[in-house]
Structure 1
Amino acid sequence: MKILSNYDTLQYPISSETTDKHTSVVYLLNILKCIIFNMIYIILCLVACLLTWLCWRWLRVRRYWAERGVPHLPPNPFLGSLTFLQKQNVGVWMRRMSEHFRTPYIGIWLFWRPALVVNCPDIARRVLVKDAASFRNRLVGCGDTDPIGKLNLFTIKDPEWTNLRRRLTSTFTAAKLRILQDFISSKSKELVQRIQREQQSGISLKSLYVDYTTDVIGTSAFGVGCNATLTGTDPLRAVAEGFMTYSPIRGLGSCSVFFFPEMTDFFRFKFFPKSATDYFRKIFKAAATLRDNVASARETRDLLDALLKLRKNESDEGYSEDTIIAQAAIFLFGGFDTTGSLLAFITYELAFHLDVQEKLYKELLGANINNARDDFTSEQLAEMTYLNCVIKEVLRKHTSMGWLDRVATIDYQIDDNLTIKAGTPVYVNTMGMHYNPDYYYDPKKFDPDRFLPENDKDRKPYTFMPFGEGPRACIGQRFGLMTARYAISSVVLNYQLQPFPNAPRPEDVVIDKRGAFYTPGEPICVQFLPRT
């Protein structure tokens, strides 16, 4: 029996210790299963709670304007009212919203943030001028990760904006701009030479005029020698091209800057391309070193002088190099593309309206014959009635920025029926008012006569705002208009403009769907026929 017992033990070596280990493993596995199950249960509960909260929050968001009796279109659960982005230009969307709702204001959502679109000139006057102290800032902005984008005059917030704007305004007075007229006139002559050389190639109007405006701004504002008008290439022109180059990341960043600036820090989006800020940092340092050797009593002649004085002035110690470079970048960004687009649209409209073109040509020719000097002065161009009517009508139809954004700093009473909360973005719909038949008869028609003095005197105030109104109106308005007047007068005096066969009419031109500004989204060209 003893031998059998030993044999059995060898064949079946199951001990109490082995059994205990097996039991422990099973027990631990059961505990682990319980923990996993409980974690899954907790996660599901948290997800359910989150979804419930999101549904509740979404219901509140989507009822926001309905509860206040404000006309609106139903928002998208993810984008709010911004479903048009990358599909339609903002200015075009603003105009269509105004056509859809003939009401003083419209409720929209920037993602889940309620905002108000104003179509009424009386409300616009209060927001932009009368009660501007309650709307000091724009919504557009950048975070701390982008000091150049955050600190420029377009995006900087009060009170820093007020001080900076006051100090830079003197650079754009009529007297200071008069110093630049001979240079701008010479660039307009180079523009005529360029057209003469390339007129048969069907040159893109936008590209042609951006070459010109980049030269004018680069030299007039920063003292940088530029030659893009004649050649189509230049280092500064390459920087300008970088502003216009689209990529999905740039598109997303632009949307964030204009409609959800809080997101810019999280994703580290930049207002300007890095190549642009690097270039401006380089030329600023070089010019600063050169001009620092000039006597401190040097008269402020251009923007760079004004910026350098900000840095030198003892009371301006807070103006960092980044702040100054930010102003250089915004003046190029805000001027070359908008004025280039304006000139492209003027040329294109004139090509399709030969009667208007001929009337303008006769005014320019008559003034040229009676001129006591070879070139027009900036004052003479500013006083030409029909030239300025043409420019204003193009600005009405093709406003570079179709809205003016402000943010309420206090709870503000829009009218007897609506009070908006502090922090609510407000968009004055300039494009909508420019196309409103209540203010402009047959608004899609190109008719410069509507701005003749005898007709313009009855126009309702605050229905024409291509440069904005109030304290935050465009600081470069005079400069931009002078640049445009010299270019278009030189072109019309030297060339008759005609459309190419089968070219789209001005109202049918595709507008850029991806950028913030109202600019041609396809190449537009005209025939330049030399005048005899």
Structure 2
Amino acid sequence: MLSINTTFLLAALLGLVYVWCRYSFGYWKRNNIPYMSPLIGNMEVFIKRTNSFFLYLADVYKDAKMSTAAAVGIYILNKPALVLRDPELIKTVLVKEFAKFENRSAACDPHNDPLGSNNLFFVNNPLWKDLRTKISPVFTSGKIKQMYPLMTEIGTELEAHLNSFAKTNDAFVTEVKELSGLFATDMIATIAFGVKANSLSNPNGEFRTQGRKLFTSTLHRAYDFFIGFFFSKWVSTLRVKLFTPEFSSFLRGTISHVMASREESKATRNDLIDMLVSLKGEAVAKGEYNAHLQDVLTAQAAVFFSAGFESSSSLMQFALYELSKRPDLQERLRNEICEALVAEQGTLSYETINNLPYLSIVLDEVLRLYPLLPYLDREHLPKEGEKPFDLKPYYDYTVPVGMPVFISILGVHRDPKFWPNPETFDPERFNAENKKTHKPMTYFPFGSGPRSCIGSRIGLLQAKVGLVHIFKNHYVTTCEKTPKEITFDPFLMSLGYKNGIYLSLVNDKRYERNAKQ
């Protein structure tokens, strides 16, 4: 039996916990903001692994009770955060009032993961602006055009890889994310680092092995993502890493070797390594070069490699999946590709591949259904003396300094108010006439505003090259292992199907036959 004193203390403690919870989780009610009722904050689905956070944000966005709300209050454990819903409000935060939201709320441990914390995705201002200005020239149309011949070489290797299966069978089943990943890894390695990764011929090579590990979902990786994205103040205490020590060691060695070779040879390829060598040269001349700066330079290569192969391989994967279910749309796309290939003797020019109208709208629609980064995060940090951001005229509420703000790209992209029958794959939404009817800020697969994805054009081009070389002489169909619908892996912070998407590729020699006619 508990003593009276012990019983009293337990009752008092429970009372204090109750009062604390009631006060903490009454924040949004006190401020008259529509909110989702908390249970372990609003993180129950993430903690129990029944859902991912980005899918939870999409559920918040589409909750029937919130259909008229411009913004919704949620709790990350006991910490209040905002989810924006109204397109004009989203535009204000991402574009008009960008100066107050220029940093992400996510972070990595700068001491134990310098490659994660110093790259363009995570780094804060003023370093972010300085890096963005210096890296942007790598992604101009002129520089991408100069890289294009290297891309077509990898496309030709993809063709040879697919044709090698036809020696025994004209149809074969493959997991298309892995196929796309092999292609995208070789692509990034050659156009960014000037390295032949040879993943298509050696799927267990070091580049592909490291990339595969980086995006393999595990409980520990989910834990790191959870802390890094939602409790960034704890990243140093809990030693949160985006890039594992193994990956960091691999990339440091690779980049150091490639930069040294480029410095010695004086060769230029107009790629990321040229830019890194140039920045190093400037720092050396000023006497500012040190190990930390080398880590900052390597960090840009790390995020370019990881984001570059993951984004384009995911885009290709979902495009192949949707087209496998719609043979009529696939046939239309293949006709467009093959007609262009015949007209240009088998190799499309940079201008032609970027102006294939149906290929473009197919990828636009894939990105609507499967945005590569399904949500955006920002932190409200107005400069000293600057008026904090408020939600007027929607709500009489001033956003506190340091509050995280989330935008569900997936939620907006699948909102029936903006996209009739939003779950249906329909590229015609993006034809020239229909594009005129799109409401602004209801389609932003690469983000929007100054902090939008710097590599969007090169990522799209990689996917176009891959699909052209697949559909040149092959088509895809569903098979027994093809999922009826996509269910996303709850351990990932991006869109990914947990069990892999298997499709049947059939070699019909379409281009070869058409070229002979």
Q: TM-score, normalised by structure 2?
A: 0.89
Distance of 2:256 and 2:77 partners within structure 1: 41
Partners of 1:64 and 1:355 in 2: CA distance: 52
- 2:404 counterpart of 1:425: yes
SS, match of residue 236 in structure 2: helix
Gaps of 5+ in 2: 383-387, 510-517
Deviation at 1:54? 4.8
State how far apart, in whole Å, the 2-side matches of 1:230 and 1:294 are. 28
Whether 2:124 is the aligned partner of 1:157: answer yes
Residue in 2 aligned with 1:12? none
| Paired letter, 1:412 | F
* Equivalent of residue 288 in structure 1, options 259, 264, 271: 259
State whether structure 2 residue 49 is matched by structure 1 residue 76. no
**Structure 1 counterpart of 2:76:** 110
CA change 1:445–1:317 in 2 (3 A) is: same
Aligned to 2:106: 140
State the shift of 1:190 in Å.
1.8
2:55 alignment partner AA: V
- Say whether residues 1:386 and 2:358 are aligned partners: yes
Residue identity in the other structure for 2:282: N
CA apart distance, 1:92: 2.6
Contact 1:90 1:402 in 2 (8 A): no
Question: Separation in 2 of the partners of 1:477 and 1:458?
Answer: 23
Q: Which residue type is aligned with residue 83 of structure 1?
A: V
Q: Distance in 2 between matches of 1:148 and 1:523?
A: 29
Alignment-derived partner of residue 93 in structure 2? 127
Map of 2:205 onto structure 1:
234
In the TM superposition, what is the alpha-carbon distance from 1:50 to its structure 2 partner? 7.3
Q: Decide whether the 8 Å contact of 1:87 with 1:514 is kept in 2.
A: no
> Which residue identity is paired with 1:401?
L
2:83 is paired with a residue whose SS is: strand
Name the structure 2 match of 1:395. 367
Determine if contact 1:95/1:431 at 8 Å carries over to the other structure: yes
Q: Which has the higher Rg, Structure 1 or Structure 2?
A: 1
Structure-1 separation of matches of 2:162 and 2:401: 52
Structure 2 residue 184 is the aligned partner of structure 1 residue 190: no
Q: Give the C-alpha shift of residue 233 in structure 1.
A: 2.5
CA distance in 2, matches of 1:163, 1:261: 22
Query: What percent of counterpart residues are identical?
Result: 28
- 2:277 is the counterpart of 1:308: yes
Question: 1:264: which partner in 2?
Answer: 235
Structure 2 CA distance, aligned partners of 1:286 and 1:490?
A: 32
Change in CA separation of 1:467 and 1:82 when aligned onto 2, cut-off 3 Å: farther
| Secondary structure of residue in 2 paired with 1:379 | helix
Question: Partners in 1 of 2:481 and 2:18 — Cα distance?
Answer: 52
- More displaced, 481-490 or 362-371? 362-371
Aligned 8 A contact 1:89 1:518 in 2: no
Number of the residue aligned with 2:392: 415
- C-alpha deviation, 1:122, in angstroms: 0.7
Q: Deviations over 1:123-179 (max 9, x none)?
A: 111111111011010011113322221111110011110001110000111111112
Does the CA-based 8 Å contact 2:72-2:84 persist in structure 1? yes
Instruction: Determine if contact 1:109/1:115 at 8 Å carries over to the other structure.
Output: yes
Higher helix share: 1
Partner of 2:377: 405
Aligned to 1:335: 308
Give TM-score, length-normalised by structure 1.
0.86
Displacement of 1:201 in angstroms is 4.9
Bigger shift: residues 65-74 or 122-131: 65-74
Secondary structure of 1:427's aligned partner? strand
One-letter identity of the residue aligned with 1:398: Y
The residue aligned with 1:434 is 413
Q: Which residue of 1 aligns with 2:222?
A: 251
**Residue 24 (structure 1) aligns with:** none
CA contact (8 A) 2:324 2:476 kept: yes
Instruction: Tell me, in whole angstroms, the C-alpha distance in 1 between the residues paired with 2:316 and 2:53.
Output: 20
- Cα contact 1:91–1:401 (8 A) shared by 2: no
Amino acid at match of 1:307: L
Work out the CA distance in 1 between the residues paired with 2:183 and 2:263.
29
The number of residues matched between the two structures is: 485
For 1:260 and 1:351, locate their aligned partners in 2 and report how far apart those are by CA, in whole Å. Answer: 41
Q: Name 1:19's counterpart in structure 2.
A: none
**Contact residue 116 and residue 426 of structure 1 kept, 8 A:** yes
Partner of 1:531: 508
SS in 1 for 2:472: helix
Name the SS of the counterpart of 2:235 in structure 1.
Answer: helix
Q: Residues 514, 104 of structure 1: CA spacing in aligned structure 2 closer, same or farther, 3 A cutoff?
A: same
What is aligned with 2:512? Answer: none
Moved more, 227-236 or 385-394: 227-236
Amino acid at match of 1:216: M
Instruction: Give me the CA root mean square deviation.
Output: 2.2
